[in-house]
Amino acid sequence: MTTHLVSVSINDSDEQLTSKLWAPAKCLSEGGTVAFPTETVYGLGADATSESAVKKIYAAKGRPSDNPLIVHIASLDMLDEIAHSIGDLAHRLMHAFWPGPITFVLHKHPDISNQVTGGLETIAVRMPSHPIALKLIALSGRPIAAPSANLSGKPSPTQSKDVKDDLLGRVDWIVDGGDSEVGLESTVLDVTGSVPMILRPGKITQEEIIEIVGACEIDPAIMGATIDTTGTAKSPGVKYKHYAPEAEVHVYIGSNTEIVKILFDLTQKMLNAGDMKVGIMAFEEDVCVLNQLFHSAKFNRDQIEVRSCGAAGDLTAYGKNLFNLLRGFDALKCDVILVRGVDEYGIGQAIMNRLKKAADGKVTRI
């Protein structure tokens, strides 16, 4: 398959966006596949009302067909095509957070294929805030089913080069729109009941949702350290191993001193055990101390790659950098990645949700 490429900027005028996105939008309306930027991560889109188009998403990604897809819309007018019985609770939350990085699970329209919903009677819907995504969807005239634009199981792409690495030759178009702002997939919130329930944490937090509607629960299935591979997936990204680089990932949570010590000790142990390359992801302050320790100990720096996820306490930067760093360690041919985890509060819930899956549950609190 020939993959067509187009570069678009958020600074382009409306006329420029229309001109550049006309061909990929037409491709979507005719049943093709287009990878495009959103504020969370890059998505791989196809017409959500066409079963044959949706099947192309699963084929391109190698994605299990019982894993639901998120449908992206450019306006509330599109909702009637894909969902019904939308209550006051959902409307209040949509008014507060859309366009933005939150997906609502609603009752699906009878005409929507089970290919989109993974066999569920509910549908996950999002209105992205990224101007390129909104324009592309609007020009296509279709609600667009779009999971992350990566091969299934790999870290989600936050840069167009990641999409090209995974999907060049597997999709019709790739729209290069620069780096994603958030870097973590959207919050997924079930609003079909009387109390909203988070099925996947993201940038929009439980605390923010409570401020709007007074209550919000978190699905217990996403709070454990391991992945539940049984039953039906209630939401995208909750059943299968996700976000995983080729290297083995281990996550450690603790105080600054404890984290630095265990990362240093483990690196020394691994290098002494054999010919390995170790990647380390930690806060900027940890990185400075570790680099000094590795220098003093005369470690072979060719076998160690230390990367900062941002300043201590800046979890917004951590979330934005997470997937890009995991992919970077693979590009550097690391055998194992040691990661500093965070407390599961606010956006820390979303970060740890991704890290637990990337590490396949190998999380240690020290």
For residue 239, what pLDDT is reported?
52
**What is the rounded CA–CA span in Å between residue 303 and residue 305?**
7
Is the same domain home to 208 and 266? no
**What is the rounded CA–CA span in Å between residue 325 and residue 227?**
22
For residue 135, what pLDDT is reported?
98
pTM for this entry: 0.93
CA-based torsion, 313, 315, 321, 327: positive or negative: positive
Is the same domain home to 309 and 174? no
For residue 273, what pLDDT is reported?
87
- Residue 120 covered by a domain: yes
**Omega before residue 110 within 30° of 0, cis:** no
Domain that holds residue 318: 248-365
The encoded tokens of residue 256 equal 């600054």
Is the same domain home to 187 and 262? no
- Give me the CATH number covering residue 46: 3.90.870.10
Angle 256-273/284-296 helices, nearest 10 degrees? 40
Is the same domain home to 190 and 296? no
Query: pLDDT of 2-25, one tens digit each?
Result: 999 999 999 999 999 999 999 999
For residue 241, what pLDDT is reported?
56
Is the same domain home to 195 and 286? no
Is the same domain home to 294 and 207? no
- Residue 243 covered by a domain: no
- Residue 241 covered by a domain: no
For residue 236, what pLDDT is reported?
63
- Residue 233 covered by a domain: no
For residue 2, what pLDDT is reported?
97
Is the same domain home to 135 and 210? yes
- Give me the CATH number covering residue 325: 3.40.50.11030
Max Cα-Cα span within the chain:
66
For residue 242, what pLDDT is reported?
66
Enter the DSSP assignment of 308: E
**What is the rounded CA–CA span in Å between residue 248 and residue 329?**
11
Is the same domain home to 212 and 280? no
- Residue 237 covered by a domain: no
- Residue 32 covered by a domain: yes
What is the count of structural domains for the chain?
A: 2
Domain boundary among 187, 222, 257: 222
Report which residue type is found at 298.
K
For residue 98, what pLDDT is reported?
98
- Residue 355 covered by a domain: yes
Is the same domain home to 44 and 137? yes
- Residue 231 covered by a domain: no
Query: Residue 124's closest CA among 241, 242, 234, 240?
Result: 234
Residue with tokens 């699905």: 219
Contact (CB, 8 A) for 101 and 188 = no
**What is the rounded CA–CA span in Å between residue 43 and residue 128?**
11
**DSSP H or E run through 208:** helix 206-213
For residue 140, what pLDDT is reported?
98
Query: Residue 108's closest CA among 144, 79, 142?
Result: 79
Report which residue type is found at 175.
V
User: To the nearest 5 percent, what fractions of the chain are helix, strand and coil?
Assistant: 40, 20, 45
Residue 307 three-state SS: strand
pLDDT lower than 70: segments of the chain:
224-242
Domain boundary among 170, 187, 222: 222
Is the same domain home to 216 and 298? no
Domain boundary among 222, 239, 272: 222
Is the same domain home to 211 and 291? no
- Strand 197-200 to strand 217-218: parallel, antiparallel, or no bridges (unpaired)? parallel
Is the same domain home to 130 and 266? no
Query: pLDDT of 256-273, one tens digit each?
Result: 899 999 999 999 999 988
**β-pair partners for 71:** 125, 145
